[in-house]
Structure 1
Amino acid sequence: MPTVERTFVVTPPPATVLEYLRDFTHTNEWDPGTDQTTRNGSGPIEVGTTWHNKSTIVGISTELEYTLTEITDSRLVFVGRNDTATTTDTITVVPDGTGSQLTYHVDLDMHGAAALAAPAVKLVFEKVASDTEKQLTEVLNRLA
């Protein structure tokens, strides 16, 4: 199972970071692989809220349904699924001075024949994770 993780510091306090990141439609702004994320339904964002995500990574398009599965004072967990993969995105945010330390951890579980590509996918996801860290840092720092 390919796993990638990045830990970095941003200017806004944890409450601001978590409030922004709990709305997965914001991936449109900070995730370089995202083509479009749309929320399913309306009402408050809470455990069980879902989003439809369309992404393109190294020229390959995919669509996943993401569900917010956990919200705490320091952590968000989103699980995305389609026929070939399940991705678990865990975002942990803790105080760092007047700002926040953010850890973004992704576990990607490939299903069926797609699992054969897991070693190559790991290399691609390392690059995507670095690009995401850079873009997410820029976006979050504008919130401060």
Structure 2
Amino acid sequence: MVTVERSITVDRPADEVLRYLADFGHTVEWDPGTESCARLDGGPVAEGARWLNVSRFRGRRTELSYRLDRYEADRLVFVGANRTVTATDDITVRARAGRTVVDYRARLQFKGLARVAGPFLRPAFERLADEVAERLPRVLDTL
């Protein structure tokens, strides 16, 4: 398993940030690895909403079906899966001193033979997390 975490401070209201991040389709704007992310169902964004995320990581294209597992006043949990990995994105959003702190934790649980590669992929996931931490504040500033 690989876990990466970042704490990101932004100058937007916490409730606005949470609503934006709750729509996983926005990952194309703030996650440099995401090529597309399409909603698979309709209606309001709520627990149970689903997306198909297409990403490129280390030159390989991968698709994960994501589900919004938890939607709370200050926390979002998305779980995505395919045949080689289960990815859990756990996002906490809280107001602090007139700003908003986004705590982002991505946990990747590899399956089958991919489990062997997991530890070797950590540096690449850390770089990707750094890129997210750099890009997300810029995107949120344009809301």
TM-score scaled to structure 2, two decimals? 0.98
Look up the SS of the partner of 1:76 in the other structure.
Answer: strand
Indicate if the aligned counterparts of 1:9 and 1:96 stay in contact, CA closer than 8 A. Answer: no
Q: In the alignment, does 2:81 pair up with 1:87?
A: no
Look up the SS of the partner of 1:112 in the other structure.
Answer: coil
Look up the SS of the partner of 2:44 in the other structure.
Answer: coil
Moved >2 Å (runs of 4+): none
Q: Which residue of 2 aligns with 1:51?
A: 51
Q: Which residue of 2 aligns with 1:109?
A: 109
TM-score scaled to structure 1, two decimals? 0.97
Q: Which residue identity is paired with 1:12?
A: R
Indicate if the aligned counterparts of 1:28 and 1:36 stay in contact, CA closer than 8 A. Answer: yes
Indicate if the aligned counterparts of 1:75 and 1:93 stay in contact, CA closer than 8 A. Answer: yes
How far apart are the structure 2 equivalents of 1:30 and 1:125?
15
Q: Which residue identity is paired with 1:2?
A: V
How far apart are the structure 1 equivalents of 2:141 and 2:73?
20
Q: Which residue of 2 aligns with 1:26?
A: 26
Q: Which residue identity is paired with 1:84?
A: T
How far apart are the structure 1 equivalents of 2:52 and 2:8?
27
Q: Which residue identity is paired with 1:71?
A: Y
**Unaligned regions of 5+ residues in structure 1, if any?**
none
Q: Which residue identity is paired with 1:133?
A: A
Q: In the alignment, does 2:9 pair up with 1:39?
A: no
TM-aligned CA deviation for residue 87 of structure 1: 0.5
Query: How big is the alpha-carbon RMSD for the aligned residues of Structure 1 and Structure 2?
Result: 0.7
How far apart are the structure 2 equivalents of 1:18 and 1:61?
28
